[in-house]
Amino acid sequence: MSDQTLFLSNSAAGSVDDEHIAQVIEILRRERDVVTASPTTPAELKATLASFRGDRVVIAGGDGSLHLLINALGELGRLDDVAIGLVPLGTGNDFAGAIGIPDDPVAAARSILDATPTQVDLIMADDGERIVNAAHAGVGAVAAERAQVAKPLAGRLAYPLGAIQAAATEAGYDVTLRLDDELIYADTMLLTLIANGPRIGGGTYLCPAADPSDGLIDVLTIDAVPLHERPGLGLDIQRGTHLERDDVHHWRGRSLALEGERMSHNRDGELRHGLADVTYTIQPAVWHLLR
C-alpha cells in the first residue's frame, strides 16, 4: 500500500466551496502525494475507492458525504485499510462539529496534516447500512424530508424550519423499543434517536453525552406530547434542558430494536422510507478518523 492520499469532493459544489477545495488540496500536497476525484454517484465512489491503493482518504463534505464514504469502504472490506480525514463542507456538519474538527475548511486541512488515526465506532442497521453520526425515526425524519426541499434557499435554517413544520403536523407513532433485548418502551412517540454522536439537525445537541468512541449507542425517545406542549418542548431542546422532562427518555446500550408501524428513518441525512422492525447495533472501533 502506498502513502498516497485520495481527496474526494462534491462535483456540484459552488464557487465558494471550489475556492476552499483548491486551498485544501494545496495544503495537503505540502506533505502528501494527493490524487483527487469527484464521483457523482455511489457506484462511481465505490469504483474510485476500489482502485485506490493509498492509506488515507480525505473527504470534503458533511455527514451525508461521510456516510456514503464509510458505507462504500465497508462494502469493499476496506474500513481497516485507510484513515479518513474530514473537511467540513456540508450544510450541518454535525459529526465534525461535535468532535472538534474546525469549522473552517483550511484549518481542518491543516489539522489533518498533524493528525493521528483514532478508532471510532459505527452503528450498523440490520439491513447492512452503516451510520456514522445518528439514525432517527418519526418526526425527525419527516423534518429532514421537508428540510431537503428548503435547503437550496434556507441553507442551515432548513432543518429548524422543517422541524417546526413536522412538529405541528405529525400525530405520533406506536412503537416498542427493546434495548439489549430488554423492553424499555411501548407507547406512542414523536421521535426515537439512535445516536453515536451528540448532535443532529445542524447543531442541536439531542444526546449531549453521546461519544462515538465509547462502544455504546445513546437512545432518546420523545413521547407524542399534545400540540400545545410542543413549543415548550422545542424551547427546552434549544436550551439543552430537555433531558429533565418526564416525556423525554434516555438510555444507553449496545443494540436497539425499534418495532411498530412503518415510518421514515433518517440515517446521517439519508432518508429511508417505509421501514418497520429495525435493529441498530453498535460496532466499536471499526474505522479510523484523522483528528
Q: Are residues 142 and 246 in the same domain?
A: yes
Mean predicted confidence (pLDDT) in 253-274: 95
Instruction: Please choose, from the candidates 271, 110, 257, the residue with its C-alpha nearest in 3D space to the C-alpha of residue 177.
Output: 257
Q: Are residues 145 and 272 in the same domain?
A: yes
Alpha carbon separation from 39 to 43, 99, 174, 200 (Å, rounded): 8, 26, 40, 26
Q: Are residues 92 and 183 in the same domain?
A: no
Dist CA 63 CA 174 (whole Å)? 29
- Which of left, alpha, beta for 224 (phi over 0: left; psi -120 to 50: alpha)? beta
Q: What is the pLDDT of residue 3?
A: 83
- Please write the tens of the pLDDT for every residue from 125-166: 999 999 999 999 998 777 777 666 555 565 555 566 656 666
Q: Are residues 108 and 148 in the same domain?
A: no
Instruction: Please choose, from the candidates 221, 227, 208, 223, the residue with its C-alpha nearest in 3D space to the C-alpha of residue 166.
Output: 227
Sole residue written with cell 422492525: 277
Q: For the chain, what is the domain count?
A: 2
Is position 125 within any domain?
A: no
Judge whether residue 168 has pLDDT over 80. Answer: no
- Please write the tens of the pLDDT for every residue from 53-73: 999 999 999 999 999 999 999
Contact 280, 128 (CB under 8 A): no
Question: Domain boundary at 71, 87, 115, which?
Answer: 115
Q: What is the pLDDT of residue 70?
A: 98
Mean predicted confidence (pLDDT) in 264-272: 93
Q: Are residues 137 and 275 in the same domain?
A: yes
Is position 181 within any domain?
A: yes
Residues of the chain with pLDDT > 70, as a percent, come to 88
- Please write the tens of the pLDDT for every residue from 190-249: 999 999 999 998 889 999 999 999 999 999 999 999 999 989 998 999 999 999 999 999
Domain holding 230, by residue range, is: 131-284
The H or E element spanning position 154 is helix 139-154
Is position 121 within any domain?
A: no
Q: Are residues 82 and 182 in the same domain?
A: no
Contact 24, 7 (CB under 8 A): yes
Question: Domain boundary at 115, 147, 173, which?
Answer: 115
The mean predicted confidence, pLDDT, of the chain is 90
Is position 174 within any domain?
A: yes
Q: Are residues 159 and 270 in the same domain?
A: yes
Is position 182 within any domain?
A: yes
Collapsing DSSP to helix, strand or coil, 1 comes out as coil
Judge whether residue 271 has pLDDT over 50. Answer: yes
Q: What is the pLDDT of residue 141?
A: 78
Judge whether residue 14 has pLDDT over 70. Answer: no
Q: Where would I find the beta strands (DSSP E) of the chain? A: 5-8, 34-37, 56-61, 83-88, 117-125, 130-131, 134-138, 173-179, 182-195, 217-223, 248-253, 255-260, 263-267, 270-275, 278-290
Q: Are residues 169 and 221 in the same domain?
A: yes
- Domain with residue 213: its CATH number is 2.60.200.40
Judge whether residue 15 has pLDDT over 50. Answer: no
Dist CA 41 CA 39 (whole Å)? 6
Q: What is the pLDDT of residue 19?
A: 87
Residues of the chain with pLDDT > 90, as a percent, come to 78
Q: Are residues 138 and 262 in the same domain?
A: yes
Is position 137 within any domain?
A: yes
Instruction: Please choose, from the candidates 19, 213, 239, 225, the residue with its C-alpha nearest in 3D space to the C-alpha of residue 109.
Output: 19
Judge whether residue 45 has pLDDT over 60. Answer: yes
Q: Are residues 273 and 161 in the same domain?
A: yes
Is position 291 within any domain?
A: no
- Domain with residue 108: its CATH number is 3.40.50.10330
